[in-house]
């Protein structure tokens, strides 16, 4: 029983980070109809930048994260301006390949500047494990889960109430109508990408605290794809729910099936779930069904 | 008037339209000069390994193998419009199938090759089943899932694949003749590449090829016209996977070892890059793209060696630079020349064809 609960806890924690990164995905898709395969690299950049600020410039955690956020925001806006703007109106395979190319380019740049070895964050949270009636949970997990939930709540509020959030939802819904209402779609695109990059930075810092920072963080971006498909590509609550579901299922599958199949089930399980979703409900739990009109 | 005018300038290829029969209009080579150009190129390819260093022949071998794979992917993505991020996995299926048949079951290479292609075609058709319900991005996700799942099988179905150690193969033989040197394998590959190219090029001119292109352009309209979407989509997946299987088998026997690290998602992305850089839907474009992508790492490595005097640490970052160049090239081509190298080649040919006019 404790094994099961252990898996559930770690599943929820990873699920929280998945939900955060999926939120960035969904934001970009909602606003500009682009699937961003480079989201994993944004995670990496955020984590590495925070580390550099902390280790090289000896800043404490919060200013380091803020510094990394600033750079990530600039990077997101730059990507939108330089790469996505020229490709508006091109067929979808061009957009997909452009973000795939971007992910390779960013990964290469990261390796040039930071190399490939694993780095760990200096201990920010206390190291002794907290015990929950038989379950041993490290405080890092609890902090990550708490932060993820807090951020998700903030973003939900942001989209429902703030002017910029409503403007983003309007642009995602119908660009021409938004333009006619006086919303500058160009600025909204830039804000969307900047926000997605910032979310990924936070996600990267959280993940880096749990698992250490190395190049495999980038594969996280690919693993988030089943999350967004499960939740629905254009649904923000779907991203959140999907994140937790996939995190749970992946950990449970990994815990119980690894001994049977010889390991590595955690990598495959989300994609098996992806195939099942695509066959049963391709638009996900909360996604809007696309009806093609002739 | 009968026949084309005799032109005084031999490089001005056409000057007006003088076709008087359907055969002349539909001919692959519009003028005798075009046919001559093709024969000259084939002659050059045949003579090349006898004159060049074995290193260059090995590069040419890699390009040939990549071309066959790229043509296969182009049939699926360029002709039929079904985006596939699973090509690397299908290459692996072909390589492991052929490898298992020749090394563990002792079959002859010449029998194992088509059987491996057929097995891969079946696997491809199976993973193409989602194309009945999914389009565009969602189909790409399904093929990505296929890639990951097949990769998992490659690592963990150790009875057949040998896990991460892989399989050891021996080079193919025909009677007493062993294809174990670069030059011998080159001629083998040349035959297969020419066959693959001619088949794909002819495919565009048949009913099936036209059905594929109709599906790509507007599949609802194609269905209304009577093209059975499901049948042709599955056929496209099967045909493309057959090409991938043959490529994998040839590659495995060229390297004489089959291991899972050659068939990752990076491979799939490399092949997608090949057809995009070369030109989607264009068979010669696939070959150009394959050559381009194969040559990038080599050019990078050589220029890094040459620049070591100026920038002493450059050799250590060459691997990372390679990924960066790869990604940056894709983006630059997408922004500045979305129709790829095939368009550039066509522009060059048109310059001579239409000279002294500009269009």
Range of weakest confidence among A6-10, A175-179, B31-35, B118-122: B31-35
Q: In this structure, are residues A72 and A10 in contact, taking their beta carbons and an 8 Å threshold?
A: no
DSSP state of B4: P
Q: Do B152 and A105 count as a contact with CB atoms less than 8 A apart? A: no
Residue A52 pLDDT more than 50?
Answer: yes
Phi-psi region of A257 (alpha: psi -120 to 50; beta: other; left: phi over 0): alpha
First to last CA, chain B: 24
Whether the bond into B95 is cis, omega within 30 of 0: no
Find, in chain B, the residue whose alpha carbon is nearest to that of A261.
B156
Q: Sort out which chain B residues have CB atoms less than 8 A from A107's CB and list them.
A: 323-324, 327
Q: Do B137 and A94 count as a contact with CB atoms less than 8 A apart? A: no
Number of domains forming the structure of chain B? 1
Q: Decide if B38 is inside a domain.
A: no
How far apart, in whole angstroms, are the C-alpha atoms of residue B282 and residue B341?
10
How far apart, in whole angstroms, are the C-alpha atoms of residue A64 and residue A71?
11
Q: How sure is the predictor about A129, in pLDDT bands with cuts at 50, 70 and 90?
A: low
Between B315 and A29, whose confidence is greater? A29
Range of weakest confidence among A286-290, B56-60, B126-130, B277-281: A286-290
Q: Sort out which chain A residues have CB atoms less than 8 A from B322's CB and list them.
A: 108
Q: Sort out which chain B residues have CB atoms less than 8 A from A100's CB and list them.
A: 269, 272, 327, 330
Q: How sure is the predictor about A284, in pLDDT bands with cuts at 50, 70 and 90?
A: confident
- Helices and strands: H and E segment counts in chain B: 15, 4
Q: Decide if B1 is inside a domain.
A: no
Q: Decide if B158 is inside a domain.
A: yes
Q: Which one of B126, B279, B311, B330 makes the best mutation probe of the A interface by having the most chain A beta carbons within 10 Å?
A: B330
Q: Does B15 contact chain A (CB < 8 Å)? A: no
Q: How many CB pairs under 8 A join A and B?
A: 129
Find, in chain A, the residue whose alpha carbon is nearest to that of B271.
A97
Residue with tokens 């995670």: A43
Q: Do B145 and A274 count as a contact with CB atoms less than 8 A apart? A: yes
Q: Which one of A40, A105, A106, A274 makes the best mutation probe of the B interface by having the most chain B beta carbons within 10 Å?
A: A105
Find, in chain B, the residue whose alpha carbon is nearest to that of A264.
B152
- pLDDT for B1: 44
Residue A122 pLDDT more than 80?
Answer: no
Q: Decide if B48 is inside a domain.
A: no
Query: Per this entry, what is the length of chain A?
Result: 294
Q: Do A112 and B149 count as a contact with CB atoms less than 8 A apart? A: no
Q: How sure is the predictor about A203, in pLDDT bands with cuts at 50, 70 and 90?
A: confident
Q: Sort out which chain A residues have CB atoms less than 8 A from B144's CB and list them.
A: 222, 225, 271, 274
Q: Do B335 and A97 count as a contact with CB atoms less than 8 A apart? A: no
Phi-psi region of B24 (alpha: psi -120 to 50; beta: other; left: phi over 0): alpha
Q: Does B130 contact chain A (CB < 8 Å)? A: yes
Q: Decide if B8 is inside a domain.
A: no
Q: Do B156 and A261 count as a contact with CB atoms less than 8 A apart? A: yes
Q: Do B326 and A279 count as a contact with CB atoms less than 8 A apart? A: no
- Write down the pTM of the prediction: 0.89
Q: Do B220 and A267 count as a contact with CB atoms less than 8 A apart? A: no
Find, in chain B, the residue whose alpha carbon is nearest to that of A293.
B220
Surface of B (167-196) touching A: CB under 8 A: none
How far apart, in whole angstroms, are the C-alpha atoms of residue A67 and residue A195?
14
Distance from CA of A37 to the nearest CA of B (A): 11
Q: What is the CATH number of the domain that holds B177?
A: 1.10.3470
Report the residue from B155, B320, B335 with minimal CB separation from A112: B320
Q: Which residues pair with B258 in a beta bridge?
A: B167
Helix (H) or strand (E) holding A220: helix A219-231
Residue A218 pLDDT more than 60?
Answer: yes
The string of pLDDT tens digits covering residues B213-224 is 999 998 889 999
Q: Sort out which chain A residues have CB atoms less than 8 A from B273's CB and list them.
A: 97, 101
Q: Among residues B130, B84, B117, which one has the least CA distance to residue B265?
A: B84
* Range(s) of the domain holding residue B182: 53-354
The string of pLDDT tens digits covering residues A93-105 is 788 889 888 988 8
Q: In this structure, are residues B236 and B106 in contact, taking their beta carbons and an 8 Å threshold?
A: no
Q: Among residues B130, B50, B123, which one has the least CA distance to residue B82?
A: B130
Q: Decide if B165 is inside a domain.
A: yes
Q: Does B215 contact chain A (CB < 8 Å)? A: no
Residue A222 pLDDT more than 90?
Answer: no
Q: Does B156 contact chain A (CB < 8 Å)? A: yes
Distance from CA of B194 to the nearest CA of A (A): 28
Residue B61 pLDDT more than 50?
Answer: yes
Residue A168 pLDDT more than 90?
Answer: no
Report the residue from A101, A261, A263 with minimal CB separation from B330: A101
Q: Do A112 and B324 count as a contact with CB atoms less than 8 A apart? A: yes
Residue A294 pLDDT more than 70?
Answer: no
ipTM: 0.87
Q: Which one of A94, A97, A250 makes the best mutation probe of the B interface by having the most chain B beta carbons within 10 Å?
A: A97
- pLDDT for B52: 84
Between B91 and A235, whose confidence is greater? B91
Q: Do A101 and B329 count as a contact with CB atoms less than 8 A apart? A: yes
DSSP labels, A149-218 = HHHHHHHHHHHHHSHHHHHHHHHHH-HHHHHHTT--HHHHHHHHHHHHHHHHHHHHHHHHHHH-BSGGGG
What is the token pair recorded at A84?
């996505």
Q: Does B113 contact chain A (CB < 8 Å)? A: no
Q: How many CB atoms lie within 10 A of CB B325?
A: 18
Q: Decide if B121 is inside a domain.
A: yes
Q: Decide if B175 is inside a domain.
A: yes
Q: In this structure, are residues B335 and A82 in contact, taking their beta carbons and an 8 Å threshold?
A: no
- pLDDT for B5: 56
Residue with tokens 């590595």: A264
The string of pLDDT tens digits covering residues A53-86 is 888 777 777 888 888 889 999 998 898 888 888 8
Domains plus CATH for chain A? 2-280 (1.10.3470)
Whether the bond into B89 is cis, omega within 30 of 0: no
Find, in chain A, the residue whose alpha carbon is nearest to that of B322.
A108
Find, in chain B, the residue whose alpha carbon is nearest to that of A29.
B137
- pLDDT for B196: 95
Q: In this structure, are residues B282 and B342 in contact, taking their beta carbons and an 8 Å threshold?
A: yes
Q: How sure is the predictor about B107, in pLDDT bands with cuts at 50, 70 and 90?
A: confident
Find, in chain B, the residue whose alpha carbon is nearest to that of A35.
B137
Q: In this structure, are residues B232 and B211 in contact, taking their beta carbons and an 8 Å threshold?
A: yes
| Average pLDDT of span B196-205 | 93
């Amino acid at each position: 029983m404790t094994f099961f609960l252990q898996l559930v806890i770690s599943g929820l924690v990873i699920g929280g980070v998945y939900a955060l990164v999926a939120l960035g995905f969904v934001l970009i898709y909602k606003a500009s109809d682009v699937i961003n395969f480079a989201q994993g690299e944004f995670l990496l950049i955020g984590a590495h930048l925070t580390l550099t600020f902390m280790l090289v410039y000896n800043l404490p955690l919060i200013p380091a994260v803020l510094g990394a956020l600033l750079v990530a925001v600039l990077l997101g806006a730059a990507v939108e301006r330089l790469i996505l703007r020229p490709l508006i109106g091109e067929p979808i395979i061009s957009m997909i390949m452009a973000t795939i190319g971007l992910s390779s380019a960013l990964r290469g740049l990261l390796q040039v500047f930071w190399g490939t070895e694993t780095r760990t964050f200096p201990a920010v949270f206390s190291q002794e494990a907290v015990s929950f009636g038989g379950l041993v949970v490290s405080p890092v997990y609890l902090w990550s889960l708490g932060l993820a939930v807090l951020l998700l709540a903030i973003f939900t509020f942001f989209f429902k109430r703030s002017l910029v959030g409503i403007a983003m939802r309007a642009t995602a819904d119908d660009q021409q109508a938004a333009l006619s209402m006086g919303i500058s779609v160009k600025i909204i695109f830039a804000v969307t990408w900047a926000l997605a990059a910032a979310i990924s930075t936070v996600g990267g810092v959280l993940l880096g605290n749990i698992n250490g920072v190395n190049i495999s963080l980038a594969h996280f971006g690919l693993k988030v794809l089943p999350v967004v498909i499960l939740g629905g590509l254009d649904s923000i609550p779907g991203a959140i729910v999907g994140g937790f579901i996939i995190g749970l299922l992946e950990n449970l599958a990994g815990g119980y099936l690894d001994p049977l199949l010889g390991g590595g089930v955690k990598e495959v399980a989300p994609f098996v779930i992806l195939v099942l979703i695509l066959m049963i409900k391709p638009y996900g739990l909360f996604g809007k069904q696309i009806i093609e009109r002739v | 008037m009968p026949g084309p005018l005799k032109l005084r300038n031999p490089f001005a290829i056409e000057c007006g339209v003088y076709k008087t029969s359907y055969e002349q209009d539909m001919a692959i080579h519009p003028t005798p000069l075009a046919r001559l150009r093709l024969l000259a190129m084939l002659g050059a390819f045949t003579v090349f390994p006898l004159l060049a260093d074995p290193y260059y022949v090995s590069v040419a071998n890699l390009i040939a193998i990549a071309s066959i794979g790229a043509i296969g992917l182009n049939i699926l993505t360029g002709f039929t419009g079904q985006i596939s991020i699973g090509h690397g996995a299908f290459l692996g299926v072909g390589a492991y199938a052929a490898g298992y048949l020749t090394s563990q079951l002792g079959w002859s290479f010449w029998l194992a090759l088509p059987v491996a292609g057929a097995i891969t075609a079946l696997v491809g058709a199976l993973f193409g089943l989602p194309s009945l319900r999914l389009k565009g991005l969602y189909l790409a996700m399904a093929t990505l899932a296929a890639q990951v799942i097949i990769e998992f099988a490659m690592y963990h179905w150790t009875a057949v694949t040998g896990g991460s150690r892989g399989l050891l193969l021996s080079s193919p033989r025909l009677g007493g003749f062993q294809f174990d040197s670069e030059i011998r394998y080159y001629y083998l590959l040349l035959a297969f590449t020419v066959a693959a190219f001619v088949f794909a090029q002819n495919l565009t001119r048949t009913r099936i090829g036209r059905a594929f292109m109709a599906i790509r352009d507007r599949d609802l309209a194609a269905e209304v016209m009577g093209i059975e979407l499901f049948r042709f989509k599955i056929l496209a997946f099967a045909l493309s996977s057959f090409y991938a299987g043959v490529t994998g088998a040839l590659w495995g026997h060229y390297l004489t070892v089959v291991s899972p690290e050659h068939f990752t998602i990076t491979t799939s992305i490399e092949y997608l890059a090949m057809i995009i850089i070369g030109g989607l839907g264009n068979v010669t474009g696939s070959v150009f793209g394959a050559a381009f992508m194969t040559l990038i790492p080599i050019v990078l490595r050589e220029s890094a060696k040459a620049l070591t005097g100026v920038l002493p640490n450059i050799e250590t970052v060459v691997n990372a630079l390679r990924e960066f160049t790869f990604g940056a090239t894709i983006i630059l081509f997408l922004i500045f020349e979305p129709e790829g190298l095939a368009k550039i080649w066509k522009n060059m040919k048109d310059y001579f064809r239409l000279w002294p006019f500009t269009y």
